Structure 1
Amino acid sequence: MKQRIIEELKRIEAQHDVKVLYAVESGSRAWGFPSSDSDYDVRFLYVPKKEWYFSIEPHRDVIEEPIHDMLDISGWELRKALRLFKKSNPPLLEWLSSEMIYYEAFSAAEKLRKLKTRAFSPEAGIHHYLNMAKRNEKTELRGGEVKIKKYFYVLRPLLACRWIETFSSVPPMSFPVLADALLTDESLISEINSLLTRKKSGQELAPEPKNTIIHAFIEEEIERIGLYAKTIKTPKSDITEELNQLLIQTVEEAWEQKDGN
């Protein structure tokens, strides 16, 4: 599949006249709990030619491909990505932390990884993941019965919050890594591992009675982290000029080749 993804990225480059800088898995496969029929959620960064940046007309700064044959591919233009990076955008920071890299060209991604610690805001991260957990809990876990897969869309952001609280760093994407580092309650771990095994085997769509142990943990953790979020306040470096230089250097680097490749 990796080779097919690279071929799709090359097609996108030719179709849109851009250079892809970096492409990773961003969904359940990177999170560590894919099902047999999970899509490949590919997210990429790209840079257009320098003329794109000097036009007086606004340009679309995302590329979104129709989902087909288990491939969900979309990308952000580099300037858009850098603006979000400066704001400590959690999805982008996750992409830069992904262990499932499909493609990397030029030096932009490595430079961003080196700046990641300075860009990261624990405050922004906590609020992002807490809001995600609360939203998913409200929409997916409040009925009489619950689908297995929906638990993980609440548990993962809650563990990301706990990671930030504990380590003050960008949370890893992998749910098993988060769980291994942060959970100590044996009964909770056993219930989560059981659901994880069943999800991976495809038993994820049929509604079933709530898991009382997991629900109790979710309710307590949402309340606890909500109180913690009100106290957190962290300073952040101003990396604007470094990101400006990174943008200029990347455009030059990506398009300096004389043969047009």
Structure 2
Amino acid sequence: MTLTRKQIDSELKRIELEEGVRVLYACESGSRAWGFPSKDSDYDVRFIYIRPTDWYLSIFEKRDVIEYPISDMLDINGWDLKKALNLFRKSNPPLMEWLQSPIPYLEQYGVTEQIRQLLPLTFSPRSSMYHYLHMAKGNFHEYLQGEYVKIKKYFYVLRPVLACQWIEERGSMPPMAFEQLVQDMVPDSLLKQEIMTLLTRKKAGIELDLEPKITVINEFLERQIAYYEETAKQIAVAGEQQDAAIDILFRDALKEVWGS
């Protein structure tokens, strides 16, 4: 089943009406945005929303996420702007990926672009590298051991490993698109040929299940994971704190969306 942009837009409008919020930004966040969806991949829609001003003027802690069960291939949920900005201060990689998704569905008001402008100042190479390293290690040890492996899981280890390499070499947030990471980070070699062959098969809709392991890729991943376990300890700790600017950004967003 394929969902159209119109259907996703309609769902976002429904959420705005039911929840009494305004969606500031929405994008694709999963394998479709990474560039290697399966034939039956869900649409992983993530969004940032803002509630009316009075909602924030309370002594009580309130739920700051909107989540719905997966239905009709649509996995959709969002974070309140205040939650998103607090995670942004901590250089949260999933949020930073959303902000540069190659498949945006909605962007209204000026706040999302203002957040992007602060991204280079809040980006923390070390915490981001640890995030991707943890992802790579977990998937590598769970899915890519033995003579036969779940072949599609190579993408879920290669992408975070190459993201670590990007962070080490360029000191910035890596792009979401898997193919860009491969082209920029992997020199022409047998390794690159094997990776691109897998990607071609995935894009063609060939279901990749249990197959003999690809030795050149396994050896590369094992070597790189061990390397980044040591490298992450020595990489820069964090970006600059921009608390005052983020506070101003939040207040300005409330004024822009809801008025004084």
Q: Which TM-score applies when normalising by structure 1?
A: 0.95
Read off the aligned partner of 2:191 and give its amino acid letter: L
Q: Secondary structure at the match of 2:241?
A: coil
One of 20, 25, 28 as aligned partner of 1:22: 25
Q: Which residue of 1 aligns with 2:39?
A: 36
2:67 matched to 1:64?
A: yes
Q: How does 1:33-182 map to 2 (within 5 A)?
A: 33-182=36-185
Q: Which runs of 5+ in 1 are unaligned?
A: none
- 2:219 and 2:59 map into 1 onto residues whose CA distance is 55
Q: Tell me whether 1:5 sits opposite 2:8 in the alignment.
A: yes
3-state SS of paired residue (1:24): strand
Task: Spell out, residue by residue over 1:210-232, the C-alpha distance to the aligned partner (whole angstroms, 9 max, x if none).
Answer: 11111011001101111211211
Contact 2:152–2:209, Cα closer than 8 Å, also in 1: no
Contact residue 126 and residue 233 of structure 2 kept, 8 A: no
Q: Does 1:202 align with 2:202?
A: no
Out of 227, 249, 257, the position equivalent to 1:254 is 257
Aligned AA for 1:217?
F
1-structure distance, mates of 2:184, 2:74: 31
User: Any idea what the Cα deviations from partners look like across 1:4-38, whole Å, max 9, x if unmatched?
Assistant: 11110000000100000000110111101112221
CA distance, structure 2, for counterparts of residue 164 and residue 174 of structure 1 = 15
Aligned partners of 1:201 and 1:237: how far apart in 2?
43
- Letter of the structure 2 residue corresponding to residue 98 of structure 1: S
CA distance in 1, matches of 2:164, 2:145: 21
Retained in 1: the 8 A contact 2:67–2:78? yes
Equivalent position SS for 1:22: strand
SS of equivalent to 2:155: helix
Q: Which amino acid aligns with 1:46?
A: Y
User: 5+ residue gaps in structure 2?
Assistant: none
Q: For 2:240, what is the secondary structure of its paired residue? A: coil
User: Contact 1:19/1:46 (CA < 8 Å) preserved in 2?
Assistant: yes
Distance 1:124 1:227 in 2: 14
| Aligned partners of 2:127 and 2:237 also within 8 Å | no
Moved over 4 A (4+): none
CA distance in 2, matches of 1:251, 1:60: 18
| CA displacement 1:157-189 (0-9 Å, x = unmatched) | 000000000100110000000000010141011
| Matched AA of 1:69 | D
Give the distance between the partners of 1:32 and 1:152, measured in 2 at CA: 10
Map Cα deviations across residues 103-144 of structure 1 (whole Å, 9 max, x no partner).
Answer: 001011000110000010111111111111001111111244
Cα 1:235–1:60 change in 2 (3 A) is closer
Cα deviation for residue 236 of structure 1 reads: 2.3
2:232 equivalent to 1:243: no
Distance across 1 between alignment mates of 2:20 and 2:106: 17
Q: Counterparts of 1:225 and 1:235 in 2: how far apart (Å)?
A: 17
1:49 corresponds to which letter in structure 2? P
